Structures are given as C-alpha cells and as structure tokens.
Structure 1
Amino acid sequence: MTAARQDVDCDVLVVGGGINGAGIARDVAGRGLCVALCERDDLAAHTSSASTKLIHGGLRYLEHYEFGLVRKALAEREVLLRAAPHIMRPLRFVMPQTGQRPALLIRAGLFLYDRLARRELLPASESIVLSGHPAGRALKPALEQAFVYSDGWVDDARLVVLNAVDAAQKGACILTRTACTQVRREDGVWRVTLRKPDGTHKQISARCIVNAAGPWAASFLDGALHRPASAHLRLVKGSHIVVRRLFEHDDAYLFQHDDGRIVFAIPYEGEFTLIGTTDVEYTGDPGAVAIDEDEIGYLCGVASHYFSAPVQPADVVWSYAGVRPLLDDASAKASAVTRDYRLQLDEAPAQRLAPLLTVFGGKLTTYRKLAEEGADLVCKALGHRAGAWTAGTCLPGGDLFGAEPQGRSVLEFDGWRSRLQVHYDWLDCALIARYARAYGTRIHSLLQGRAALPDMGEQVLPGLYEAELAYLRRHEWAVTAEDILWRRTKLGLHLPADAAAVLDAWLRAHPLAPK
C-alpha cells in the first residue's frame, strides 16, 4: 500500500471492465498504486468486444479534419503492433474506386495517412488494377481500379483481457460480475458499495475513483456527484454481420458507399467474412443493444453492391452490435461524430474531496494513450510520483523475442508459430495455431506439465480441452460458456448450435477448485 492513509482498501477503484478501464488499471498498477477494478458483467462484455476489430488511424477521419486524432492513432498503431503481435496482425485494405470520392482526393488522403506518424512495420499505400490483382476476382467487373493501404487487425476482447491480466500481475484486484451500486465522499475518501457475484454486498473505500463505465459513464457520474457531466455522450450503435468467406485472399475491403458511409469486409476466423459497421443513433438501454433487420439488410445490400456473389440475410451466421459512447460534437450524422476522448478530473483538494476521473469517448486504437494520460492525472491528484511506462512493454504473451516490444515480432509471427508446432508436435497443428494467436508465449503456461494429448484432459467440445478451460477460468476470469466461446476464443463460430448449453452444463458439473 503506497497510500498516505491506511484506512482505505485501495488507492484507485476503476469502475468498468472495458478497454479503457482495463488499460487504466494496468497503467496505474504498474506505477505502484493499489488498484481494484470492478465490472458488473464479464470483461469486454459490451462495447469493447463489439468493435470492427481494427487497429487503425481512421482514414475517413481525415475528411473531418481530425488530423490530431489520426496522427495519435497512427502512432499508437505502431506501438500496439509491437506490444501484442499474437493478438494483432498487419492488414492490407483494398478500396475500390467508385467515383464517390475523386481519385485525386483519395491519393492526397493516403499520402497524408502514410506520413502523419512514423511508419516502420507496414507498407505504404499504392494503386492497383483490379483485373490483375487477387482482390479483383471477388468484385463486380465494373470495378476496375482500387487503392490499397495498410492498417492492423486485433482480437478486441482478448486485448481487454490481456490488459487485465497484466494489471493483476502488477497487484491489481480484478472483480468481475461485481457491480458498483453506491458511492459517496466521506472524510476525504470514497466509500463504495459493491454487489458481489453471489448477490451479497461489500463495503470498500478508495482514495480515487476512475469512471470508465463507457455508455454508462454519464449516468454513473450523475449518481456519484448528483450533477450532470460537463461533457455529453452521444450513443451510436455499430452493428456487424458475419457470413461464410466471400473471398480467398487475406486482404480486407473498404467500400465507400454512395450514401457517404464506410463499410468494411474483413477476413475473419479463417472461414468467414466480417462486414460492418452501421452508425445509428441509439437511445435505449446500452445493455440491451442488438442488431435489427434494417441494419442486416443494409449491410447485405452494401456487400451485394460490390461483390459478384450477392449476400442475403439468410447467409448471416452470426451478428453483433455495440453502443459506442462518443463525445457529442454536434455533428449532424452519427458517422461523423468524433472518436476522440476527453478526461474529466473532479477534485477539490482544499475541500478534502476525493478525486474522480471520468473517461468520455475514445476508440480502441488510442486506449493505451488514453490510459497513460488518465494515469498521469490520477497520480498527480494522489501525490504519487511515477512516470509512464506502457509504451515500452509487451502485453502478456507478446514477448515472442524478448521482454521489450520489437517490430520483428509481428512480422515474424508465422515463423515463431512454426517453431511452436515443432516443440509441441504431439498437438494438432490447427490447435497450436489457435493457441499461438490467443496466448502468445503464455501457451507455455497453458501447456505446463503436459507432454501428450491425454494430459490435456477431457475434450469437452471439438478443439476445447479441459486444460484450456482450467487456464481460462483460473487466469482470465472466464465463468460462462459465452465468456469462453465468444470472448476468450471465437470457437462459437465453429461449433454446433448447442455448444454453449453443453459447455455451461460441464462448467456447472466441474466447479473450479480453490487455488
């Protein structure tokens, strides 16, 4: 405990287990403060697992003159690709020229995109003739020219989990299925009531609270301080559909549709194509968000407009939707609302008021920078001297070639995986490939003490062994089949419809033994 007062349970309580909450918990814990994080559901249960799963600068934000945001995001793209080469990979995007935007304007935008921040890992943009490129085979013949540029792909839910894992390794207490039901300032600290997974309540105290509740940030702030937030959130629903693979190559597509929207088609989980997203104003309960028929029809229509093979709603094998809590900048269109963030620190040292930091807005790519700036504010408010550190450190499992982030890791990942397959030659190559992508070097922890297939325990579902289930439950806070099949892994896409019921029954019959 580094706090000056010894009558508190933690220095910092982070409310919210999405990417911003997990990132801040990791950063602050790494600076030596006592941290707890509470999340009423599972880690990444809402917005942070419902993204388009891209690490990108945001090419389209250039049209809205958000050069600062794009520069920041492009710089972070390089940092993250180095820090987590197992859950991220470079991705080339093919953007057919449709006349929606002049070719000269696109060339200028891509020239700027290539140069706004240092780019060492990804190739520059180029123009191509689609008839001579593999990407052209899946498209309608009328599309003749395209531009190609680079960004990155990420497993968004695992990014959240790995930040929480690193926070826990640095001493943070991660409390999932634990709701923050009441907060009040008293004697210079926060008195907090938490509702535990079993429904009972626990009282704790904290010197500082970080409100990283995402779509619920404003309502939490109103409940904590009993006054409106100084920044206003605009809730925008983004929905995606998944269909069987529409093309054989490994590049993605960016379609500039004639309504001004951008829709991506991305290779997903080997056998599928992910299509999205929509940008729709949302006013309902963020916890009950779901894709609707109009959105499914819209995404199918956009895909059918460009691909030779039509995409029908009946082709959709999975869909998801999330609510993005964006800063309200009075944009007329939801798609034009800024993806930047704002950090609001509420404190009054002269009145001995415990500080409260609230996170408004943000995007997946800039979460680490947001967390770093948030940690700076928290440390300053608590009088704790500790500097930034996350830019030069791998996320758990990302240290393929050493503890410090290296560009070669993401570029040489396939070679590293091949050596793993030799080392663990008693496991199926497809299983090793999945483990390598999900766990990186932490595969050695998962497989510790196992030297043959029988050592993996029961195969509860195809490709899902008892050994992995034990690892996910003990080290990654997985509790339900949904946690495991749709967030920790994406096996739900590959398994029969009754897989979740089978797994939940198995989990109930095999309670996790105490450590």
Structure 2
Amino acid sequence: MTRDLRRLADTKFDLIVVGAGFYGVTVAWDAAQRGLAVAIIDQDDFGAATSFNNLKTLHGGLRSLQSLNFKQMRLFIRERRALARILPHLVRPLPFVVGTTRNPKRSSLLMRVAFAINDAVARDRNEGLADPGSHLPGSEIISREEALRLNPVISPDGVTGGAVWYDYQMISTDRVTLSFLLSAVDAGATAANYVKANRFIREANRVVGVRAEDSLTGNTFDIRGSVVVNCAGPWAASMLTDLPQAAQGAPPPRLSRAMNLVTRKVVNSHACGGVAGGRYLFMVPWREVSMLGTSHDAYDGSPDQLKVSRWDLEAFLKDAREAFPHAGLTTSDVRLIHRGLLPMVSGDGHDVRLLKESQVVDHARHGLPGLVSVFGVRYTTARHTAEQAVDAVFRSLGHAKPPPCRTAETPLLGGSMNHVDNFLKAVLLRDVAGIGTDTLRRIASTYGTGYDQVLQNARDVPALARPLGRSCEVLGAEILYAAQREMALKLGDAVIRRTEAGAAGHPGTDALERAAAIMARAHAWDEWRIRNEVAEVEAFYRLPRD
C-alpha cells in the first residue's frame, strides 16, 4: 500500500471517501469490490480517532431486546456473524457474565426469560461458519457461587446467581480496520493517510470532489470524483457547514464523548459486568490487560479539542469502583485512555441517549447530488451501513438497481481460512530460524494468511527477528513491514495501530527507541525527526494532570 498523492490528484474517481475510520474503510471495500474506482483519505492515520476507542467487542443486539426491537436484534446477529466469517483469525468468542439480584429488572427469572428469547432470535448465529471455534454457545443461568467465581470483581451483596452469554472479541480492532482498507486497496482503491478534505468542490449544483491538503507538507490539491461519501465521523457535520442550509438535510446528531480505559489485568476468562448509577459497565479481558468501559458524556466542543481531564478520569474510576469494588482500581492502574465522539439523540452531563441506528443521508434528496453522508454508531453494524451507503452511491451514478453487495461473505485479506486452529497448527509445524512458537502463533493470529510476508523481513535481516524490547514481544520485522507495506508514516502509526507493540499501553522506552530507529531507516529520518516522533508517542500515553 503506497501513498501516491499524484495519483489522487490526476485520477477522476467514481467515489471519494472522506474519512478512513471503520465506517470509511467498510464503504471503500464495498465500493471497490463492486467495481468502482475509489479514493479514500483521512486527515490523520487510518482508524486513529473514534475507531480506536472501543472495548474490542462485537455485540449481538442484546440491548435491543429491552425495547423488543427484534428487527434491530436480527441485524446485529447477522452482522456479528458476517465479521466472524470474513475475519476468522481476528474475531473469537468471548463469554460475558453478570450477577442476578432480587431487583425485578435484574432477577434470575427475568434473565432466564430474556436470554431464552435471545437464543431463539439468534438461533442461526453460527449458520455458515465453517470453523467450530467461531461458534457461539447458548446462554445459561448459573448459581451464585459460580457467578462470583467468574465475576469476582463485583460485590457479593445481594447477588442471587448469574447469567452467562457469548459475543465476539476482536483480537485487534486496528488490524480489523486495516484489513478492510488493505482489501479495498487490493481491489483497486487508492488510499492516503494524513490528507485532509478542507471542503467539497461544487460545480453546476453538484459535488464533484474535494479540495485536499497534505497534512505533512501543507500542499493543497483537488481530488475529483463523481460522488463523495462523507465518512468523517465527528467531523462529518462540520464538513457540511459550507453547503446551503437546505442541502444539508436534517440537522446532524449532536456528539457525546465515549471513554474506555486500559488497566492492569483484573479479569481473566470472562467479560464481567457491574452496575454503577443504574447502568452496566464491563471489565473485559484483552491480551495481558483489562479494558473498562464505557463512559458517556454529552459533548458540545470541537472534535479537534477532544480531551480527557484528570477530573474526568477520576469520575470514571469512581463509577468503576462502584461497579467493581473488588477490583481495587486506582489511577496508577490505568495504562491508556481511549476516547472518541459518538452521535447521540440527546444528552446532558452523564445522561446520554446514543443514536440507536446509523444514518445514511443522500443529499440528492435535498437538492445536492453527488454527496452522501454517513453518521455511524456501532462497530458491529458498520458493514451493513456501508452497503446502504454504496447503494446510494450507485443510485447517484444513475444505476436504477445497484449491483449486489458481497462483503458479508467475501473473506478479507488474511482471512481466507476455514478453521483457525488447523491453520495455526500448520503454521507451527514450520521451523523459522530465530522465532519461537509463541511469537509465530501471535504473528499468524494477527496477520492471518499474510503472516509469511512479515516473516520474510526477519529472514532477510535476522536482527529484525528479535523483539523490540524487554517487555515488548513485537518484532522489528513487524515495524518494518508496517513502514514499507502498510503506510505507517509516523512512529505512532506503527507502534500503536499497525502492531501490538503499544496498543495496550506504553511498550517500554527500549522498544520505542528501537522501533523509531527502524522507522528512521525506512523513511530516512534525521535525529531531529526521531526525537520528535518519540516525543509525540510519549505524549500519547501521558495521563492527564489537570
């Protein structure tokens, strides 16, 4: 994947996607697979904003059961299954457990009925999944003793039993996002990070492209296309402000700030639910850490000014201690703060009602053809929303009937395998000099069927077969692969999003410095640039002090 700004400027595309978060990359993949000439840009790195902020889970719409919205439940169930089908190495089952109480809303009887309905609605949850390791078991109601054993971080007071159900966990959401993007590029799309769309270009009352700016140099240029899809996430609304009021359509949703924390390892096999202020928080096991989420607050500021204060962090930890008193969480346990902005229906302070379903706005219906805006909400249903958006693109291109979408069945790059365990067993039969079985398993699980391209770097330069640092198992070969093949232009791109080195917290100064040295050789950085890149990553991990 090569950053070719000349190609962006010189090509007339069928579709330009503004924003390469999860919604943007799913749109690009769908459109490229259906044969369109696609360009996709992002003002930052791919998936670096709201898409980076999540609990790594894919849900089956259990919350939709509360409002008896079975249509929405079925959508979540289908989309959860689709992601398990097309990315089997990055999506694995994860059990959840919550305690039951004498509160009628959380009683064993209500849970038993609710999960019986859930299992019935999701009866085909494993249909078409060839890998038994991807199958989700049914739910169960368990005893008080078992509930407290599986969920040891909640208070035992008032607990009468427990409920266990299964969803999926993404081993790496960043690799999931990147897999969609790499698949789109493999299908012919042109992608570039650090390219900002400053405004839409309009001619004859139609959007025909974007005025773009290279964020690294400040150079501006035009990108021309028949249709533009505005997938700019929290910036999507501000992209519309220069348009005539009528063309903007209905007022875009307001924003809420979502926050998740990466902490020391607290829970093990199960994602544990606890109640604070009448709502559930979850502690999710992930790698050798735990993730805590999710906190929501109304947000009225600019997306560019999003930050988390010390007070915000302490308030969230206070809720966490209420939900999980036996976890003993303090500020010193926090390794990384995730934050992002999501569309909401209404909100004031902590009382937030999120938008329940993503919105696709075809501005042709408001007098401005050539522009489609997407306001996305859920990671799980992004593929379906992308399908709707690309259908709208084809209509804008004059197709009465869009060609069929195949993204629910087509494996993404790295995901062409029927049985993950058999794939890993075959990989581990190989003897790769200098690389142990645990590292080999991790690389194969991360890169799927493309793992050998990473190992080639280690074979070419044996020194790259070494881990980056004393407490960081990522190899130098992975950093070089990110720089050469995955458009990692900055140190943070490679350390935080392309590899596992810093995704769960600071990888260690030794690892950071070695990764910077590898990036420097790949991109011809001087010492000043190296110091600045390291400083930028250090600032990313720094917890708020005020």
Q: Shorter-chain TM-score: which interval? A: 0.7 to 0.9
Pick one of 284, 302, 311 that aligns with 1:285.
Answer: 302
What is the distance in 1 between the residues matched to 2:294 and 2:117? 24
**1:35/1:430 Cα in 2 relative to 1: closer, same or farther (>3 Å)?**
same
Task: Report whether the alignment pairs 1:76 with 2:93.
Answer: no
Aligned match of 1:108:
113
What is the distance in 1 between the residues matched to 2:41 and 2:349? 35
Aligned match of 2:225:
206
What is the distance in 2 between the residues matched to 1:425 and 1:242? 33
User: In 2, are the aligned partners of 1:94 and 1:254 still within 8 Å (CA)?
Assistant: yes
Pick one of 377, 393, 416 that aligns with 1:399.
Answer: 416
Give deviations 1:397-454, integer Å, cap 9, x for gaps.
Answer: 11123xxxxxxx3xxx344323322224531223223212321111022224755881
Aligned match of 1:473:
483
**1:65/1:477 Cα in 2 relative to 1: closer, same or farther (>3 Å)?**
farther
User: In 2, are the aligned partners of 1:275 and 1:299 still within 8 Å (CA)?
Assistant: no
> Percent identity over the alignment?
29
Aligned to 1:336, the other structure's residue is in SS state strand
AA aligned opposite 1:495: P
User: In 2, are the aligned partners of 1:23 and 1:163 still within 8 Å (CA)?
Assistant: yes
Aligned match of 2:44:
41
Task: Report whether the alignment pairs 1:495 with 2:507.
Answer: yes
**1:331/1:9 Cα in 2 relative to 1: closer, same or farther (>3 Å)?**
same
What is the distance in 1 between the residues matched to 2:60 and 2:346? 20
AA aligned opposite 1:319: I
AA aligned opposite 1:310: G
What is the distance in 1 between the residues matched to 2:175 and 2:52? 9
Pick one of 319, 322, 326 that aligns with 1:308.
Answer: 326
Aligned match of 2:213:
195
AA aligned opposite 2:522: H
Aligned to 1:468, the other structure's residue is in SS state helix
TM-score normalized by the length of structure 1: 0.87
**Which ranges of structure 2 fall in alignment gaps of 5 or more residues?**
1-9, 127-134, 526-546
Aligned match of 1:244:
264
Aligned to 2:356, the other structure's residue is in SS state coil
Deviation at 1:477, TM superposition (A): 1.8
**Which ranges of structure 1 fall in alignment gaps of 5 or more residues?**
1-6, 402-408
What is the distance in 2 between the residues matched to 1:124 and 1:338? 29
Task: Report whether the alignment pairs 1:170 with 2:187.
Answer: yes
AA aligned opposite 1:145: G
AA aligned opposite 2:219: T
Deviation at 1:386, TM superposition (A): 2.1
Aligned match of 1:404:
none
My pick for the range that moved more, 233-242 or 489-498, is 489-498
Aligned match of 1:119:
125
What is the distance in 1 between the residues matched to 2:114 and 2:315? 27
Task: Report whether the alignment pairs 1:360 with 2:375.
Answer: yes
What is the distance in 2 between the residues matched to 1:182 and 1:225? 13
Aligned match of 2:5:
none
User: Which runs of structure 2 are paired with 1:22-421 in the superposition (5 Å)?
Assistant: 22-100=25-103, 101-103=105-107, 104-117=109-122, 118-120=124-126, 121-132=135-146, 134-142=149-157, 143-154=159-170, 155-187=172-204, 190-196=208-214, 197-225=216-244, 228-247=248-267, 249-257=268-276, 259-269=277-287, 271-305=288-322, 306-326=324-344, 328=345, 334-347=351-364, 354-384=369-399, 385-401=402-418, 409=419, 413-421=420-428
Task: Report whether the alignment pairs 1:486 with 2:496.
Answer: yes
What is the distance in 2 between the residues matched to 1:202 and 1:99? 63
**1:166/1:216 Cα in 2 relative to 1: closer, same or farther (>3 Å)?**
same
TM-score normalized by the length of structure 2: 0.83
Deviation at 1:194, TM superposition (A): 1.1
AA aligned opposite 1:367: A
User: Which runs of structure 2 are paired with 1:448-463 in the superposition (5 Å)?
Assistant: 448=456, 451=459, 454=462, 456=464, 460-461=468-469, 462-463=472-473
Deviation at 1:193, TM superposition (A): 1.4
Aligned to 2:364, the other structure's residue is in SS state strand
User: In 2, are the aligned partners of 1:20 and 1:367 still within 8 Å (CA)?
Assistant: yes
Give deviations 1:139-192, integer Å, cap 9, x for gaps.
Answer: 544345110011111222222111110110011000110001122221555142
Aligned to 1:392, the other structure's residue is in SS state coil
User: In 2, are the aligned partners of 1:18 and 1:47 still within 8 Å (CA)?
Assistant: yes
What is the distance in 1 between the residues matched to 2:513 and 2:302? 27
Task: Report whether the alignment pairs 1:508 with 2:520.
Answer: yes
Backbone CA RMSD of aligned residues: 2.8
Aligned to 2:48, the other structure's residue is in SS state coil
AA aligned opposite 2:495: L
User: In 2, are the aligned partners of 1:222 and 1:229 still within 8 Å (CA)?
Assistant: no
Give deviations 1:74-118, integer Å, cap 9, x for gaps.
Answer: 111111111111221111100112445232333332222223242
Aligned match of 2:429:
422
Aligned to 1:279, the other structure's residue is in SS state strand
User: In 2, are the aligned partners of 1:303 and 1:310 still within 8 Å (CA)?
Assistant: no
What is the distance in 1 between the residues matched to 2:374 and 2:257? 19
**1:422/1:230 Cα in 2 relative to 1: closer, same or farther (>3 Å)?**
same
Give deviations 1:374-395, integer Å, cap 9, x for gaps.
Answer: 1111112213552111111111
Deviation at 1:330, TM superposition (A): 7.7
What is the distance in 1 between the residues matched to 2:351 and 2:370? 32
**1:285/1:511 Cα in 2 relative to 1: closer, same or farther (>3 Å)?**
same
**1:476/1:23 Cα in 2 relative to 1: closer, same or farther (>3 Å)?**
same
Aligned match of 1:4:
none
User: In 1, are the aligned partners of 2:200 and 2:207 still within 8 Å (CA)?
Assistant: no
Aligned match of 2:544:
none
Deviation at 1:512, TM superposition (A): 6.8
